[in-house]
Structure 1
Amino acid sequence: MSLPQSRHLVTEVPGPRSRALMARKLAAVASGVGTTMPVFAHRAAGGIVEDVDGNRLIDLGSGIAVTTVGNSAPRVVEAVTEQVAAFTHTCFMVTPYESYVAVAEALNRLTPGDHPKRTALFNSGAEAVENAVKIARSFTGRPAVVAFDHGYHGRTNLTMALTAKNMPYKHGFGPFAPEIYRAPLSYPFRDGKEVDGEAAARRALLLIDKQVGADNLAALVIEPIQGEGGFIEPAPGFLPTLAEWCRAHGVVFVADEVQTGFARTGDLFACDHEGLVPDLIVTAKGIAGGLPLSAVTGRAEIMDAPHLGGLGGTYGGNPLACVAALAAITAIEEEDLAGRARQIERLTKDRLHRVQGTDARIGDVRGRGAMIAVELVKAGTTEPDPDLARAVAAAAHRQGVIVLTCGTYGNVLRFLPPLTISDALLTEALDVLQTAFAEVPA
Structure 2
Amino acid sequence: MSLSRRTILLSGLAAGAAGAVVAGGALPASAAPAPSRTRALSYPFTLGVASGDPDHEGFVLWTRLAPQPLAEDGLGGMPDRTVPVFWELAADERFRHVVRRGVVDAHAASAHSVHVELAGLLPGREYFYRFRVQRHLSPVGRTRTAPAPWSLPATLAMAFASCSQYEHGYFTAYRQLAETEPEIVLHLGDYQYEYARDTYTAPGGNLRDHEGPETRTLANYRQRHAQYKTDPDLQAAHAVAPWAVVFDDLLAQQVFFAQRDRDSGPLTVTSMDAWDGYLASRDRITRGWLAAGVRNPVVLTGDVHAHWASDLKLDYADPTSRTVGSELVCSSITSGGDGADSATGSHPWLAWNPHPRFHNNLRGYVRTTITREQLTADFAVLPYVSSPGAPARTRARFVIEDRVPGLHLTRDEPPAATRAAGPDADAGQRTVESETRRP
| Structure number with higher helix proportion | 1
TM-score, L = length of structure 2: 0.25
| Structure number with higher strand proportion | 2
Higher relative contact order structure (alpha carbons within 8 Å, sequence separation ≥ 6): 1
TM-score, L = length of structure 1: 0.25
